[in-house]
Amino acid sequence: MTNKNYDIIVIGAGHAGCEAALASARLGCNTLMLATNLDTVAYLACNPSIGGTAKGQIVKEIDALGGEMAINADKSLLQMRMLNRGKGPAVFSPRAQVDKNVYHINMKRTVETTPNLHLRQGEATAIERNPDGSFSVATAVKLVYKAKAVVLCCGVYLNSRTIVGDCVRNSGPNGFANAKYLTESLIELGFKVSRFKTGTPARVKLDSIDLTKTVEQTGEADVAPFSYATDSIPATKRSCYLTYSTAETKRIISDNKQLAPIYNGSINGVGPRYCPSIEDKIIRFADKERHQIFLEPESEETDEFYVQGASSSMPASVQEQIYHSIEGLENVEIMRDAYAIEYDCIDATQLDATLMAKHIPGMFFAGQINGTSGYEEAAGQGIVAGINAERYVHGKAPFTLRRDNSYIGVLIDDITTKENTEPYRMMTSRAEHRLILRQDNADLRLTELGRQIGLVDDARYAKYLHKKHQIEQCEKQLKEVVSPKLYGPLFEQKNEPVSGAGLTVDEILRRTNITAKDVQSLGFFDETDDDALYQIELNCKYRGYIEKEKDAIEQANKLENKPLPNDIDYSKIDGLRLEARQKLNKIRPRNLGQAGRILGVSPADIQILIVYLAQNIHKQ
């Protein structure tokens, strides 16, 4: 018996689920979002932060498309910083410490008050594809819901178990109930399932920390908010603190290595390479004398602090010794034990660039179920899956992002093209065009797309148009010539040599020590907002590099624009190596560009495909 019909059912209410459900509902689809527990809606199960290296760029992109994560992070701020200031602007990355309780409450309220969106507690236990192409989703309490499309955003809850030494519990994060039955349904539907793992550190009591042995880290006032709809960020509400592991930490872990589940065989799942546990770091990097540990507040309303950089699955008694060996934590009181968590996820190469299953139309996946790690990666996939689920239901053309226009595009292309054997984490190094994909220009890159889709409202679009207009007006002034009499005093003050000849505004701004604010003092760029000034400055100073990036993108697009027919049998193409044939037949790339990014497909194989396409077109 079907209890109710919907356009779309979103299974899971984490960061991917919230973005997917909000997008589909705001675009007019009657949407049901199922959560195993309503207290898990947008729950920050691990670190109480949003953003970070490459992740901050994703948050900005979600916002530019009309998503919610950035807005909610701004509402929940404890402090904000810009990472990588010592490097170039291509890798500047905003990171916010947020109040995890406020973040959950605000997002749950947003979900509850969004028209067309219905939030329901219930564990999905089975998915069935109906003869008419619709889906039936059964729950643990024997209710069955029907929809035209489903989006699976199950996070780390599928068959999950938490591990503290030899204490193993069948549960989701933080003791929440897991999803016990859905994996079997996915296998029956033809999905390849893997086992991954992640972990989280202990939570400790603030007043038991000796802060005199740590370095205080306050927020930075000159960081722009995540959302382009937010005017400014508040002052720092709570500080973070930097400390270090010690030689004693190293000794304790080495002496108890046999008790570590990741080394004694108790854990079967593959963990994240770029976010290892403290015991894994100590063993793998034995030459390092110490490791950074960050103490981060979980909320304004609690004294619980998160020990960033010290996740563990060691027995609780060993954890006590490890944490007490860290500088400033000699007498720390542990409030929650660290734990590892194993869970099921699918092989995302079974999905296309819309995050829809290639073999089951109308079935979408987003978040850690796709083998990724991180709130931001999940949310970025969520908004794309939600948009495409709506477009599928309404018979619209699919929406995809590219590697040259977004980090989200890089992320989705990577997970659907490459067979990931470990949790995927976004890093700036994964984006070959990161100078173009900066955190400061996400609105200029993606707001028009969000507007076309229907998620960017009038107020947001007006702000974007205002910024774009200001940039255009400033660009018109770049060719104006300024006399040395006018710019001379400024150059002397900034230790720039005065040539004695007139210089264009563009030439002045390209000087190393001159900023757009300096040019404004010369009577140009009048009444221009700071964010528009920043764009002008970067465009001038990095113009040569930006032009090279655009040329590289243009060359890459020559392959991206050569589609590969879905019905090619690669095993019958002469000249392709055996590995290439197998990988191409499995992944079914949409174009030559994607084919070239498949591990096991060489440049020589791509040349053979180019010849093959040319011959087929000639025959047609």
Q: What is the CATH number of the domain that holds 571?
A: 1.10.150.570
pLDDT for position 166: 93
411 and 512 inside one domain = no
Is 555 part of a structural domain of the chain? no
Q: What is the rounded CA–CA span in Å between residue 215 and residue 430? A: 31
What domain count does the chain have? 3
The torsion of the CA quartet 518, 521, 524, 525, rounded to 10 degrees, works out to 70
438 and 480 inside one domain = no
Q: What is the rounded CA–CA span in Å between residue 50 and residue 296? A: 12
Over 65-99, what HEC string results?
Answer: HCCCHHHHHHHCEEEEEEECCCCCHHHCEEEEEEC
156 and 52 inside one domain = yes
Specify the CATH number for the domain of residue 208.
3.50.50.60
pLDDT for position 1: 60
* Residue 175 buriedness (CB in 10 A; 0-12 / 13-18 / 19+): exposed
100 and 191 inside one domain = yes
Q: Model-level pTM?
A: 0.94
Return phi, psi of residue 410, to 5°: -65, -45
Domain that holds residue 593: 562-619
Specify the CATH number for the domain of residue 496.
1.10.10.1800
CB-based contacts of 316, cutoff 8 Å, min separation 6 = 164, 165, 167, 337
Based on its alpha-carbon atoms, the radius of gyration of the chain, rounded to whole angstroms, reads: 26
Over 90-133, what HEC string results?
Answer: HHCEEEEEECHHHHHHHHHHHHHCCCCEEEEECCEEEEEECCCC
183-228 pLDDT, tens per residue? 999 999 999 999 999 999 999 999 999 999 999 999 999 999 999 9
Look at residues 492, 523, 549 and tell me which one is the last residue of a structural domain.
549
Task: Dig out the tokens for 566 from the structure.
Answer: 């879905």
26-83 pLDDT, tens per residue? 999 999 999 999 999 999 999 999 999 999 999 999 999 999 999 999 999 999 999 9
Q: What is the rounded CA–CA span in Å between residue 21 and residue 377? A: 16
451-468 pLDDT, tens per residue? 999 999 999 999 999 999
Of 352, 340, 344, the C-alpha closest to 369 is 344
E strand or H helix at 563: none
Is 155 part of a structural domain of the chain? yes
Return phi, psi of residue 152, to 5°: -95, 120
Quick one: average pLDDT of 227-246?
95
235 and 319 inside one domain = yes
Look at residues 528, 549, 570 and tell me which one is the last residue of a structural domain.
549
Which residues does residue 243 pair with via DSSP β-bridges, in sequence order? Answer: 293
Is 257 part of a structural domain of the chain? yes
392-435 pLDDT, tens per residue? 999 999 999 999 999 999 999 999 999 888 999 999 999 999 99
Cβ atoms of residues 348 and 415 within 8 Å: yes
259 and 396 inside one domain = yes
Is 408 part of a structural domain of the chain? yes
Of 123, 127, 162, the C-alpha closest to 13 is 123
Residue-wise burial string across 134-154, b where 16 or more C-beta atoms lie within 10 A, e elsewhere: bbbbbbeeeeebbbbbbbbbb
Q: In this structure, what DSSP letter does residue 344 have?
A: E
373 and 231 inside one domain = yes
Is 102 part of a structural domain of the chain? yes
